[in-house]
């Protein structure tokens, strides 16, 4: 009997030893699990006081686990999230298992988003607390908040905005402004092929879409004017900006922002029509001015010049004798005045319409202007002709010549230059005139100042050039000289 009891005791001891060993192994495995798992494991008592927090809390919140033991969980929760946490705690204590997202205080003083999954701890049939796992969801929550904010902004933008999936070019979302712009109801555009919004024209709808996609794939961004079509078939013009983004749900998307610019487009077309009419009127006016100058120059030469010539001839026949010195002095003064009038008439006639311009064309006329200015002003004036100068229509040739004449005259009168250069260039489509000097220069803003401070000559040249469909470029500054370049289109033959 005693031997049997000893055997039982030995077996019981061995069994107890094995159980203790197994328990130690389990405890070590549990400790390894708790210490090495990426998430935070925690326990609380029935009042919500933390009784255990795993070491991973250092990584998430910066606290040592011992700093949190004994603290109430509610004291660490963001005030706005506290009602949610209190309800979730009560639900878990009642046996309802449901994840909770809330913000909890970090040691840095900032709040950090976590998600907890908890279950009740039951001892002797009584719930004495909860145990749970906390997962870091901070970055995801921030991304969700940013996405929600962007969604609110998108929905409330005055401009029409849509999201297009890059994978199949279908509309994933359109804000209310975009739906109203295109005449669709809420959600009606989702799933549509974006190419259906393009109005058919010289290029097909799909061709327009392919061109835009090619730019997006190359640069990530497209901007331009599109002719779109509404649900009812009516067309309108949109200014569109399209950018590429990565969306958490739809993958790569194109975000398009549209503004209706139909009225602006109509105004631009009307302006272009009026500008074309103005250019045509300016061309006719320039032609009329050329003819008027030719007529005035001819009248000065043929009429006034001849009358003055006859007057000089006649006055030469009535010269008083030397015995009458006073009458002789008066006669000589009269003849001198007539000679001055003849020279002035010839000069004015040449300036209004130099014969060389009509007879030989713009190239020789500009060279003659350079020689005349050099001779009269004593300033070196060079002239360079690039491209064919012959055959230019009379209106354009007259405008270029008188523009050069005015620019050279301005330089001589106001700039005190050491030299002046005239450059004429012509190609198949345009004529360019550039006049440069190395003189005093001036403040370029004078051209746009109110009269009388405005440089009216340059202002007039700029406006007349614009009316002809050309461009006017001024480069000057005090002490830096002046360069003016005028470009006008060559009228079709």
Q: pLDDT tens digits for 86-106?
A: 999 999 988 888 888 999 999
Element (H, E) at 150: helix 138-156
Pairing of the two strands 381-386 and 420-426: parallel
> Which fold is adopted by the domain 356-493?
Heat Shock Protein 90 (3.30.565)
Tell me the C-alpha distance between 389 and 392, whole Å.
7
Predicted confidence at residue 145, as pLDDT, reads 72
Domain 11-136: give its CATH architecture: 2-Layer Sandwich (3.30)
Which DSSP state fits 225? E
H-helix or E-strand spanning residue 8: helix 2-36
Question: Are residues 407 and 302 in contact, defined by beta-carbon separation less than 8 angstroms?
Answer: no
What's the pLDDT score for residue 326?
80
Which residue carries 């204590």 as its tokens?
93
356-493 shares the fold of 11-136: no
CA 151 and chain centroid, separation: 24
What is the DSSP-derived secondary structure letter of residue 491? Answer: P
| Cβ partners under 8 Å of residue 335, min gap 6 | 312, 315, 316
Q: Any idea which fold 142-260 has? A: Beta-Lactamase (3.30.450)
Q: Find the length of the chain.
A: 493
pLDDT at 211: 92
DSSP 190-201: TT-BGGGGBPPS
User: What is the reported pLDDT for 30?
Assistant: 46
446-473 CB burial, b ≥16 within 10 A, e <16: ebeeeeeeebeebbebbebbbbbbbebe
pLDDT along the chain (493 residues), means of 10: 57 58 50 62 92 90 92 93 92 87 92 91 90 88 69 65 91 90 93 92 86 92 93 93 84 90 88 76 67 66 68 74 76 81 72 71 90 91 90 83 89 92 92 94 78 64 82 91 92 67
> Hey, where are the domains in the chain?
11-136, 142-260, 263-353, 356-493
Q: What pLDDT is recorded for position 469?
A: 82
Q: Supply the pLDDT for residue 451.
A: 55
d(CA 16, CA 150): 64
Instruction: Give the pLDDT of residue 1.
Output: 56
- Could you give the angle at which helices 394-410 and 456-467 cross, rounded to 10 degrees? 160
Residue 87 makes CB contacts below 8 A (sequence gap 6+) with none
Q: Are 201 and 227 in contact (CB under 8 A)?
A: yes
Distance CA 18, CA 52 (A): 28
Phi, psi for residue 443 in degrees, rounded to 5: -75, 115
pLDDT of residue 29: 44
> Which residues make beta-bridge pairs with 475?
483
Axis-axis angle for helices 262-299, 325-352 (nearest 10)? 150
Closest CA to 132 of 116, 121, 144, 145: 116
pLDDT reported for residue 277: 77
């Amino acid at each position: 009997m005693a031997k049997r009891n000893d055997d039982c005791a030995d077996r019981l001891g061995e069994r107890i030893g094995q159980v203790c060993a197994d328990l130690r192994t389990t405890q070590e495995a549990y400790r390894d699990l708790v210490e090495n798992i990426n998430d935070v494991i925690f326990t609380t008592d029935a009042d919500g006081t933390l009784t255990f927090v795993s070491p991973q809390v250092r990584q998430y919140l910066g606290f040592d686990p011992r700093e949190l033991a004994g603290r109430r969980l509610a004291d660490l929760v963001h005030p706005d999230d506290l009602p949610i946490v209190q309800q979730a705690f009560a639900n878990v204590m009642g046996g309802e298992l449901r994840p909770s997202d809330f913000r909890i205080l970090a040691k840095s003083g900032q709040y950090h988003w976590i998600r907890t999954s908890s279950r009740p701890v039951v001892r002797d049939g009584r719930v004495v607390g909860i145990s749970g796992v906390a997962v870091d969801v901070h970055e995801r929550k921030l991304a969700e908040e940013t996405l929600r904010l962007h969604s609110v902004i998108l929905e409330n933008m005055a401009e029409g905005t849509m999201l297009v999936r890059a994978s199949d070019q279908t509309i994933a979302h359109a804000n209310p402004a975009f739906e109203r712009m295109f005449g669709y109801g809420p959600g009606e555009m989702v799933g549509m092929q974006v190419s259906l919004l393009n109005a058919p024209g010289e290029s097909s709808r799909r061709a327009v879409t392919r061109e835009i996609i090619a730019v997006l794939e190359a640069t990530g961004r497209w901007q331009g004017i599109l002719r779109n079509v509404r649900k009812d078939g009516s067309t309108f013009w949109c200014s569109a900006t399209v950018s590429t983004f990565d969306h958490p749900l739809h993958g790569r998307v194109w975000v398009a922002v549209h503004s209706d610019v139909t009225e602006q487009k109509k105004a631009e077309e009307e302006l272009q029509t009026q500008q074309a009419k103005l250019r045509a009127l300016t061309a006719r006016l320039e032609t009329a001015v050329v003819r008027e100058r030719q007529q005035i120059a001819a009248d000065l030469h043929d009429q006034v010049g001849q009358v003055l010539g006859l007057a000089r001839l006649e006055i030469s026949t009535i010269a008083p004798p030397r015995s009458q010195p006073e009458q002789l002095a008066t006669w000589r003064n009269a003849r001198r005045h007539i000679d001055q009038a003849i020279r002035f008439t010839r000069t004015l006639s040449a300036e209004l319409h130099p014969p060389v311009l009509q007879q030989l064309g713009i190239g020789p006329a500009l060279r003659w202007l350079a020689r005349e200015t050099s001779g009269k002003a004593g300033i070196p004036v060079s002239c360079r002709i690039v491209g064919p100068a012959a055959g230019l229509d009379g209106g354009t040739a007259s405008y270029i010549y008188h523009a050069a004449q005015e620019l050279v005259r301005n330089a001589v009168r106001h700039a005190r230059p050491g030299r002046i250069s005239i450059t004429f260039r012509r190609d198949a489509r345009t004529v360019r005139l550039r006049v440069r000097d190395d003189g005093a220069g001036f403040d370029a803003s004078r051209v746009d100042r109110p009269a009388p401070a405005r440089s009216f000559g340059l202002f007039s040249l700029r406006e007349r050039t614009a009316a002809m469909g050309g461009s006017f470029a001024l480069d000057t500054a005090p002490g830096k000289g002046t360069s003016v370049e005028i470009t006008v289109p060559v009228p079709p033959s």
